[in-house]
Amino acid sequence: MNLSLKLVTVFFTLIFGTIFIFPINSAIADNTAKPITSADRVSLSVEQVEERLQIQQGDVDSQQGDFIQRKYFKVLKKPFLSSGSFEISNDEFIWKTTKPVESAIIFNNGELHFTDKSGSKKAPAQASTIAKLLQHLIAGNFTALTSSFLFYDDNNTANCVTLKPKISAMSSFIEQIILCGDSQVDEFVLFDKNMNRTEISISYNKAS
Amino acid sequence: MKRQLGLFQGLVAMILLLFVLIWGKAKFQADILSLLPQNVQTVLQDAESHFFDGNKRHVFISFSGKNAKLSHDHFFSLSQKKPWFNVKTLDLDLEKAVQFYLPYQGVLLADDFSKALSSPESYTLFASQKLTEIVNPFVSASIAQDPSLATAEFVEQAFAKNDGLALEDGRLITTSSLKGQQQFILIFTVDNEALNVNKAITVAEDIKQVMHQIERQYPDSEVKYSGVLFHTAENASQAKFEMSFFGGLSLLAMLIMVYFVFRSKTALFAVMLTISNAVIYGFIALALLFDSVHIISLVFGVTLIGISIDYCFHVLTELRDKKPSLTIVNKSIFLGFISTALGYILLTLAPMNFLSQVATFIIAGLVGAMICVFTLVPTISSSKSELNNAKRDKQLANLISLIKYLQVRRVGLLLVVTALVFVSYLILPIKFNDSIADLNGSSATLISNENFHQKILSGQNVKRLFILGSTIEQVLQTEEAIRTRVSALIAETDASSKFVPKVTGISDWLPSKQLQHANNKQLKFAQANDVFSSWQQATGLEVTFNAPEPLTYQAIKNSVVAPYVSPFLYAGLNKSLGQDAENDNDQFVSLLQLSNITRAQLVSITEGLGDQVIPFDKAENISQIMTDSRESLLYWFMLALVMFSLVICFQFGLKAAGNHSLALVLSVSIALMLSYMIQGPLNLFNVLAMMLILALAIDYLIFYQYRGTNASNVLAISLSALSSMFVFGVLIFSNTPAVYSFGLTVMLGIVSIFILAPLSVVNKEEQ
């Protein structure tokens, strides 16, 4: 395959986010969140975002906790529900799903590893973008996120910000992200191009 | 009358020269790839151009080390202002790609989807996985129309085939770290114009300046560059230097030699006029007959100076002796021209286009030289006494005495030389090594960078196959047969290994009709066996499969996914039989890439597929073409030698034919053996040099045979040999191995024939 095709396929396969495996175990959930559509607002600086969410980057060296993910599709009446745990440090990110099926994604020193019921697998290379995005979102690393996103305030809630992709690598599969928190990131919602959304709620272990 | 004729031709030549210069007919190029031997199979050659020509304009810059990301970003921001920087904006429209495939649901199956159809449980698990991924735009775009997710998985698999590079925050990165370091890659495209001789040098220099700026600012980062642009720039600047340096040096040496031999300004003027006329004729012929002239042709063409000057020597020496008529010498010059021209025409038997340019330049140049010495030279050398030189005459007399001394002992001498040559070939059998590298004079840094980039971009075990067929269906079925064999290999490989075999090709996007039919059957069978039931119950969606028209290349060709398919399928349509429809005489070639496959595995994968599958290894193919050419040139050499012997036999008798043939064979053998001792394994260009030795040696033999060892003849031949030795000898300083090999062997051959030619002369009384 020649290099021009490589570039194009690489770009597309970014969105290859085969990370989480769950059987159908859905629960009816609130489906009222709406994406921001106005494009004429002034973007926020990293400092403004940190002030708004009361999050200071570098407050903690490492974090660990649990997550619950709800996935909503417009054609489906019920969202998919899954849960697990995570660990973040400077050079490692572990996203482990425990219910209902065990799987894990480990991002260590720039290399991505993926395991599921069948054992260790080579993770799709493009999944590293998703893993890094999650890592930065949970860690509240807004400086790192500025290379891919612009920040806006969220009119509905005081302790939330909206992230809009500014590069095509992100905008090709993410419409926007709403990130909420108070001294640490508690929840974020990802909207895809078809306005289906994924809600991820975070709870932190006391040790962190 | 002669003078008027000479001046007239000179005037015409000057007008033509001005015409080609002013009208821009003379275009030069230094594209290293255009030097490569051409494959004789037209379809494969066309397919190769179709697949790879686009890559010529790519430039690759990699960044590694502590501040790799910063240096990447800084390079990017600095380059954006530059006219040569052109990063293709990728207009991604996944929606359209998915929408294109949706009408074909029911005939498309991805590998994992196919496996999941084995039971309701495995399918439910598979489908659930797809729905719970954080972001999956394929599912998102197709679930409403295709709730089975078959289309989503098929398109996703097609796009996901390549994992050599990843995109992270808009930067291309390597997925596996090499030497423990992650590489950031920047790939951009330069204009076609940037590959022209002068532009390539400027653009490459400008890019390197930006790189140096980055390296100074981030000393911990390592920046590497590669791409055809840099090869072109390096080879162009080197060839330009060599052409002017070798040309200037040769010209200066010739003029010094002429001055010391003839001690006459008239002789100097005659020589300069002859060389100028020759170069103008050669240049005009090149400009008029070729769209663009490769600069390496002109490096080889420098030898015109040494050959054209010979004609002038013969006329000048004849004039020195105050001969009333130049008829005999003119006849000898004309015969000499014929043999040299034939020798250069033989060079074009090698499958490299630039040798045709070399031959054209030299032959046209010699015509120019010949016209000049027939018309202008005799008229300008009016005061013939000027050409006399007592000191030179004394040295010449000594040389003639030596020749005669050797001629008396020639039987013994020839026997000794023959025995020595024979023994040396027994002790030291000559080895050959035909390598693509012979044509490349690029720096070690650039070649090392290129190897490094190849490893990080394509992996270390990448094999490419040309799949041939008379229909697209046949091509696709062959690709699928190979996929099946590779799948068997994958089953034996550890899934966690970084080196799982992988196949990438057009059948990722377009299954054969046969496979589409089988897919439809499998889906309907699964539906009949309630594989989708629990999924339908859980989601409330209804999975249905139609019996659509099969997906065809015609549909793909006009679709959003065409850029992923068309570049890898070459359609050699027989246009006389119709427009786009496939006909009996059509030939199709696709490019299939296999990764992490060993050579042994490749043999077993392609076993039994016959001529439908041709492994594509450019370097190996070229080496093979060069080897074949070298071997066929040896046969041509033998044929030329036999023909020459027959002509001599007819003209001068059997003994002369035997002697001359022996002298030729010995000269060539000595030249090859000495070249082997100096250079190591020989190549195609040493063999090409044999042809030229033959052509030039025949001149010496004919001159000796016609004119004997008289003073003017010995002087002319000696000067001619000295000039040829010099112009070919200077080529050994070339950085391009091909030029070096060619120059070395011709020079050694001329030394040999200069010594052996007088020994092979048969006097009239001996005939």
In this prediction the ipTM stands at 0.74
Mean pLDDT score, B278-295: 87
3 state SS of B719: helix
Q: Does a structural domain hold residue A92? A: yes
Query: What pLDDT is stored for residue A66 in this prediction?
Result: 93
CB contact under 8 A, A16 and B498: no
Q: Are strands A119-122 and A149-153 parallel, antiparallel or unpaired?
A: unpaired
The alpha-carbon gap from A71 to the nearest alpha carbon of chain B, in Å, equals: 6
Mean pLDDT of A36-42: 55
What is the pLDDT at residue B424? 94
Interface residue of A9, A116, A142 to substitute, partner B, most B CBs within 10 Å? A9
Instruction: State the Cα torsion B360-B362-B366-B367 to the nearest 10°.
Output: 10
Bridge-based pairing state of the strands A119-122 and B613-616:
unpaired
**Structure-token pair, residue B566:** 């068309």
Q: Any idea which of A89-98, B385-394, B402-411 has the lowest mean pLDDT?
A: B385-394
Chains A & B: contacts with CB separation below 8 Å = 194
How confident is the prediction for chain A on average, in pLDDT? 71
Q: Does A77 reside within a domain? A: yes
pLDDT 10s digits, A9-32: 333 222 222 222 222 222 222 333
Q: How confident is the model at residue A134 (pLDDT cuts 50, 70, 90)?
A: confident
Residue B187 carries which DSSP code? E
Beta-carbon neighbour count of residue B126 at 10 Å?
A: 18
B208 vs B213: CA distance, rounded Å? 9
- Domain annotation covers residue A115: yes
| Residue closest to B316 by CA, chosen among B361, B236, B364, B254 | B254
The share of chain B scoring above pLDDT 70, in percent, equals 87
Distance of alpha carbon B634 from its chain centroid, rounded? 21
Contacts (Cβ under 8 Å, ≥6 apart) of B362: B282, B301, B303, B304, B307, B340, B341, B344
What SS3 class is residue B266? helix
Looking at CA atoms only, how far is residue B61 from chain A in angstroms? Answer: 13
B594-636 pLDDT, tens digit per residue, is 888 888 888 888 888 888 888 887 777 777 777 888 888 888 8
Query: Is there a cis peptide before residue A100, judged by omega within 30 degrees of 0?
Result: yes
pLDDT range class, residue B225, cuts 50, 70, 90: very high
Asked if the structure places residue A6 within a domain, the reply is no
Over residues B170-188, mean pLDDT: 70
| A107 backbone dihedrals φ, ψ, rounded to 5° | -115, 105
Distance of CA B311 to the CA centre of its chain: 34
Q: Would you say residue A48 has pLDDT above 50?
A: yes
CB atoms within 10 A of CB B469: 18
Residue type present at position B230: F
CB of A4 closer than 8 Å to CB of B54: yes
CA nearest A144 in B: which residue? B169
pLDDT number for residue B68: 86
Residue (of B736, B473, B485) closest to B608 by Cα position:
B485
pLDDT at A62 over 50: yes
Cross-chain Cβ contact B167/A6 below 8 Å:
no
Return the residue matching tokens 């002796």: B321
**With pLDDT > 70 as the criterion, what percentage of chain A qualifies?**
66
- Residue B310 reports pLDDT greater than 60: yes
State residue A175 phi and psi, 5-degree precision: -85, -50
Q: Quote the distance between the C-alpha of residue B648 and its chain's center.
A: 38
- Render pLDDT for A153-183 as a digit per residue (tens, 0 to 9): 876 677 889 999 887 767 777 889 999 988 8
pLDDT score, position B495: 59
Supply B8's token pair. Answer: 């007239």
The one-letter code for the residue type at B272 is M
Question: Contact at 8 Å (CB) between A13 and B160?
Answer: yes
Q: Considering only CB atoms, which chain B residues are within 8 Å of A120?
A: 495-496
Do residues B718 and B740 touch, judged by C-beta distance below 8 A?
no
Quote the minimal CA–CA distance from B237 to chain A in Å.
27
Tell me which chain B residues have a C-beta less than 8 angstroms from the C-beta of A107: none
pLDDT bucket at B368, cuts 50 / 70 / 90: very high
Comparing A132-136, B6-10, B62-66, B660-664, the range with the smallest average pLDDT is B6-10
Quick: pLDDT tens for B426-484. Answer: 999 999 887 766 667 788 898 889 888 877 776 667 788 999 998 999 999 999 999 99
Mean pLDDT calculated for residue range B411-420: 91
Higher pLDDT, B40 or B106: B106
Q: Which residues pair with B61 in a beta bridge?
A: B186, B225
User: Inter-axis angle of helices B304-320 and B711-729, to 10 degrees?
Assistant: 160
Tell me the pLDDT band of B666, cut-offs 50, 70 and 90: very high
Asked if the model's pLDDT at residue B669 lies above 70, the reply is yes
**pLDDT greater at residue A146 or residue A125:** A146
Average pLDDT over residues B66-93: 80
Locate the chain A residue with the closest alpha carbon to B57.
A4
> Residue B708: its pLDDT value, please?
78
Q: What is the mean pLDDT of residues A78-83?
A: 84
Residue B622, classed as helix, strand or coil, is: helix
Tell me what percent of the residues of chain B surpass a pLDDT of 90. Answer: 22
Indicate the domain borders of chain B: 233-429+620-760
3-state DSSP call for residue B551?
A: coil
Task: Retrieve residue B355's tokens.
Answer: 């040798």
Asked whether residue A73 is domain-assigned, the answer is yes
| pLDDT tens-digit map of B534-559 | 888 888 888 888 767 899 999 998 88
Among B84-88, B93-97, B118-122, B581-585, the range scoring the smallest mean pLDDT is B581-585
pLDDT of A31 reads 36
CA–CA separation, A154 vs B678, rounded Å?
A: 78
Query: For residue A24, what are the CA distances in angstroms to A78, B121, B631?
Result: 10, 11, 70
Q: What is the pLDDT of residue A5?
A: 34
Q: With a threshold of 0.90, does the pTM exceed it?
A: no
Query: What is the per-residue pLDDT for A123?
Result: 55
- Residue B35 gets which letter from DSSP? G
What pLDDT is attached to residue B117?
Answer: 92
Query: Which residues of B fall within a CB distance of 8 Å from A110?
Result: 177, 182
* Residue B467, helix vs strand vs coil: strand
Contact B132 A22 (CB under 8 A): yes
Look at A9-18, A45-54, B487-496 and tell me which has the smallest mean pLDDT. Answer: A9-18
Phi, psi of B53 (to 5 degrees): -60, -30
3-state DSSP assignment of residue B155: helix
Closest-CA distance, B616 to chain A, in angstroms, reads 12
B129·A21 Cβ contact <8 A: yes
CA distance A86 to chain B (A): 15
| Nearest Cα residue in chain B from A4 | B55
The CATH number linked to A184 is: 2.50.20.10
Containing domain of residue A130, as a range?
41-204
**Rounded mean pLDDT, A123-146:** 77
* Calpha distance B577→B585 (Å, rounded): 9
Rounded to whole angstroms, what are the CA distances from B263 to B119, B258, B506?
101, 7, 73
3-state secondary structure at position B324: coil
Residue B194 above 60 pLDDT?
yes
In chain A, residues with a C-beta closer than 8 Å to the C-beta of B125 are 21, 23, 101
Arithmetic mean of pLDDT, B734-740:
84
d(CA B656, CA B698): 13
Least CB–CB distance from A77: residue in B166, B535, B540? B540
Comparing CA positions, the residue from B434, B497, B516, B506 lying closest to residue B475 is B506
Residues with Cβ within 8 Å of B81's Cβ and at least 6 positions away in sequence, in order, are none
**A19: in domain:** no
The 10 Å Cβ neighbour count of residue A121 is: 15
> Three-state DSSP class for B249?
helix
Q: Which of B94, B166, B538 sits opposite A126 (nearest CB)?
A: B166
Count of other CB atoms within 10 angstroms of residue B82: 14
Residues B169, A148: C-beta atoms closer than 8 Å: yes
Question: Which residues of chain B does A1 touch, with a Cβ-Cβ cutoff of 8 Å?
Answer: 161-162, 504, 568, 591, 593
B185-194, B270-279, B610-619: which is most confident: B270-279
* Count of domains for chain A: 1
Name the nearest CA neighbour of B253 among B742, B729, B745, B744.
Answer: B729
Q: How far apart are CA A69 and CA B700, in angstroms?
A: 91
Q: B542 to chain A, minimum CA–CA distance in Å?
A: 12
The residue that leads in pLDDT, B87 or B543, is B543
Q: Which residues of B touch A24 (CB under 8 A)?
A: 124, 128, 535, 538-539
CB B743, CB B728: distance < 8 Å: yes
Q: pLDDT tens, B703-722? A: 788 777 788 788 888 888 88
Q: What is the pLDDT of residue B1?
A: 66
Which residue in A122, A134, A192 is closest to B140 by CB distance? A192
Instruction: Mean pLDDT check: name the lowest of A97-106, B502-511, B519-528, B691-700.
Output: A97-106
State which residue of chain A sits closest to B129, comparing Cα positions: A21
- Rounded Cα distance between B181 and B408, Å, is 74
The whole-chain average pLDDT of chain B stands at 82
| pLDDT tier, A55 (very low <50, low <70, confident <90, very high otherwise) | confident
Shortest Cα–Cα distance, B737 to chain A (Å): 29
Model confidence at B514, in pLDDT bands (50, 70, 90)? very high
Walk across the sheet containing B171-174 and list its strands. Answer: B165-168, B171-174, B184-189, B58-65, B221-226
Residue B347 has pLDDT above 60, yes or no: yes
